[in-house]
Amino acid sequence: MTALDEAGCAADLLPTQALDPFGSSESAQDEFIWSPADLRLVDGGLCRREMELLDCEPVASDEATHCQLWALGVRWTAALCFESVVFLPGGRFEFARDVLDASGAVVAIVFPAPDDLSQLLDIAAWDPETGRLALLLGRVAMLGQDNLYGWRLGEPIAMHETPLDWLKADREGVFVIDPERASPLLRRVEPLGVKRASFGRRMREAMTIRAPRIVVRQNQKEAA
């Protein structure tokens, strides 16, 4: 080892304050390695959805969960997390850590659910065992809502039959959660592409908005 190499090794072993002739706090702070949860300390502008996702475990960090999704045909696991949740009526859920009674909680796959402008409005939870899907806040009408205005070269936007189909397609296209709210959004980007004609007919019927009932109003004064 040369004298230069020895000097380099020695420098690596010196504390930060020794390398900084002014002993500035900035250089000491550079030595910290921030964890994902610490981001809440340096950026007070995080919304509730972002903070909730920071507290979830990434799928990529757990071999068993990653293998479970892989066996189901899900290859792209970026931004997918897993967390214990409690499913509620009306297609909603809460994180088990946020409720007093977490009995009946299940470990679900949790992921962002942006709107058509790619704003993070909601979080989705999907149970791989049962296929059940729920939203934290109920603010989006479909999974993949941020895909509506993507570049498709004239191809119809894919409308998937199940959340698993959407995940297996690398989250391309959409899975409709609320047909009535999704209908006006999807009308802007038609046509839609489906794999089964029966599913297409069922969704067309579900997304046909019924006109309100109209009656002839009777003037009470004239009737008197």
pLDDT for 25 beyond 80: no
pLDDT at residue 15 in the model:
39
The confidence band for 81, taking pLDDT boundaries of 50, 70 and 90, is very high
Q: What is the mean pLDDT of residues 7-33?
A: 39
| Burial category of 200 from C-beta neighbours within 10 Å (exposed 0-12, middle 13-18, buried 19 and up) | middle
Tokens of 155: 């191809």
pLDDT at residue 47 in the model:
78
| Burial category of 109 from C-beta neighbours within 10 Å (exposed 0-12, middle 13-18, buried 19 and up) | buried
For residue 88, the cross-strand partners are 92
pLDDT at residue 8 in the model:
38
Tokens of 177: 């959660």
**166: three-class secondary structure by DSSP:** helix
pLDDT in tens, 102-114: 999 999 999 999 9
pLDDT for 12 beyond 90: no
Reported for 47-50, long-range contacts at CB under 8 A and 24+ positions apart, including other chains, are 47/120, 49/112, 49/120, 49/121, 49/122, 49/123, 49/136, 49/137, 50/120
Assess contact for 113 and 135: CB atoms under 8 A.
yes
pLDDT at residue 153 in the model:
77
pLDDT in tens, 104-141: 999 999 999 999 999 999 999 999 999 999 999 999 99
Lowest mean pLDDT of 22-31, 64-73, 164-173, 211-220, name the range.
Answer: 22-31
Please give the mean pLDDT across all residues of the chain.
83
pLDDT for 182 beyond 60: yes
- The domains of the chain are located at 47-139, 141-208
Per-position b or e across 115-142, b if 16+ CB within 10 A of its CB: bbeeebbbbbbbbbeeeebbbbebbbbb
Q: What is the mean pLDDT of residues 83-89?
A: 97
The confidence band for 38, taking pLDDT boundaries of 50, 70 and 90, is low
